[in-house]
Amino acid sequence: MAEPLNHSTNAPIVEPIDERILAEAAAWLAQLQDGPLPPAEQARLAAWRQQSPQHQRAWQRAERLLGQLNALPAPLAGPALHASAQASLQASRRASLARIAKGTALALLIAPGAWLLWQRQPWQHWRHWMDADYAALPGQSLDLQLDDGSQLSLHAGSQLDVRYSRRQRLLHLRQGELYVHTAADSAQPPRPFIVSTAHGRMQALGTRFAVRQLDGRDGRDGRNNGSDGGNDGGSTLLAVYEGAVRIEPADAPSAAHRTLRAGQQARFTREAIAPASAAREADTAWRQGLLIADAMPLPDWAAALARHSGRPIRVLPAAQALRISGTFPLRDPDRALRMLAATLRLRIRQRGQGEGAVVEIG
């Protein structure tokens, strides 16, 4: 069972933030982004923040999202915030504050012209963004240093919970990709460092590694050379660059657990672990804003670039079997597409405008 959030060795256990408080924080965030608050509203916000430790933590989380949102290009961030304010005003006439803020939070994170899977399932996914301890918005990565000195990088579109307690250091990757450089624990006895996903747990043994959670549609990963014999429930890909990491699939007996050493990677489901293959340090180049491909299937390349683009990228059937090699700029998706077109002599075209825009490669 996951333990309550706690970033410090000796701090008291911290309860999860109430959903209504998160909703209120989202509503305040939308108001701030729509323009400066009048003095009376500033006083109300200050009073709201001081109501409880949960209110303070919710606002800290909102400010983190605000910082990432402000870093987005204006064509993406501005319309999103304007839409969020308008949606809130209209909804206030017929809905509760919680429902207003659900729409607000969604609009903060999904801008017109910025494609996300969650546009198809908005209600189910807004809370994951507001409720996660750390979230890297699409098109961005996020670097963190935890209280114990461990260093983390979250890939674009990733969500992470940090649950440190007196017994363990636990990170839960809700979705996306995480790079970890662990630090020695000063607590005595030292607490184990564990990363969990929907498919199981990984215990670090003094190490540097990356974890990527794949959904059922992302089963073909250009960085994986093994077969997991898995199912449509997705899988997790672990790559170890220093030290070792022990994999414990959620529904597998302890005899099936396995330790990967530096230079190895493997994919696992809740039931099984695939054979190990060679890990590539180049696969972490997203931390420097680069996509390094080595005979990568074109659909995998397109999926990786789409996480940093404001549009979905679709590979047409005639180009599905192509593979691509080279180094591409993730922070400039249009340039990356032009480089692809020149390398493989492909045609790149956009169909539709605004939210419905789709880039086709073929």
> Averaged over 149-167, what is the pLDDT?
92
- For strand 193-197 and strand 169-181, is the pairing parallel, antiparallel, or unpaired? parallel
* Per-residue model confidence (pLDDT) at position 71: 54
Query: Above 80 in pLDDT, residue 136?
Result: yes
Q: Between helices 19-34 and 122-131, what is the axis angle to 10°?
A: 90
Q: Boundaries of CATH 3.55.50.30 in the chain?
A: 289-361
As given in the structure block, the two tokens for residue 180 are 């970890």
* Per-residue model confidence (pLDDT) at position 59: 82
* Per-residue model confidence (pLDDT) at position 84: 39
Q: Domain 142-281, CATH 2.60.120.1440 — does that match? A: yes
User: What does the alpha-carbon distance between residue 209 and residue 243 come to, in Å, rounded to a whole number?
Assistant: 9
Q: For the chain, give the number of residues.
A: 362
Q: Boundaries of CATH 2.60.120.1440 in the chain?
A: 142-281
Mean pLDDT of the chain: 76
> Alpha helices, DSSP H only, in 257-307?
298-306
pLDDT in tens, 245-262: 999 999 999 999 999 999
Q: Which CATH architecture has domain 289-361?
A: 3-Layer(bab) Sandwich (3.55)
Tell me 317's DSSP state. Answer: G
Confidence category of residue 15, pLDDT binned at 50, 70, 90: low
Between 353 and 200, residue with greater pLDDT: 200
User: What does the alpha-carbon distance between residue 307 and residue 119 come to, in Å, rounded to a whole number?
Assistant: 14
Q: Is 98 exposed, middle or buried (0-12, 13-18, 19+ CB in 10 A)?
A: middle
> Averaged over 177-204, what is the pLDDT?
96
Query: Above 60 in pLDDT, residue 333?
Result: yes
Confidence category of residue 27, pLDDT binned at 50, 70, 90: confident
pLDDT in tens, 258-304: 999 999 999 999 999 999 999 999 999 999 999 999 999 999 999 99
Confidence category of residue 74, pLDDT binned at 50, 70, 90: very low
Between 197 and 72, residue with greater pLDDT: 197
